[in-house]
Amino acid sequence: MKIGNPANYYVRVRARSWDEEPEQAALYEGMYSFDLNQLVRVSFVPAVTAPRPWSLDDVPTDISDFTTAQQARVHELLLTDYSVTPDDERAGTADQFDWPFEWTDPATRPRPTVFYVTADEFDRLSSDLEELSDVAGELHSFVRRSEVLEHEVVRFIERRILDSPLLTPDSANSIGR
Q: 71-125: per-residue pLDDT in tens?
A: 999 999 998 999 999 999 999 999 998 877 776 777 666 789 999 999 999 999 9
In this structure, the chain runs to a length of 177
Q: What pLDDT is recorded for position 11?
A: 95
Q: 143-171: per-residue pLDDT in tens?
A: 999 999 999 999 999 999 999 999 999 89
Q: Are 29 and 17 within 8 A, CB to CB?
A: yes
Q: What does pLDDT average to over the chain? A: 90
Torsion sign, CA atoms 19, 127, 59, 90: positive
Q: 9-66: per-residue pLDDT in tens?
A: 999 999 999 988 888 999 999 999 999 998 999 999 999 998 888 888 878 787 788 9
Q: Are 43 and 83 within 8 A, CB to CB?
A: yes
Q: How far apart are CA 53 and CA 65, in angstroms?
A: 22
Q: Are 78 and 53 within 8 A, CB to CB?
A: no
Q: What pLDDT is recorded for position 177?
A: 82
Q: What pLDDT is recorded for position 88?
A: 97
pTM: 0.91
Q: What pLDDT is recorded for position 108?
A: 67
Does pLDDT of 1 surpass 50?
no
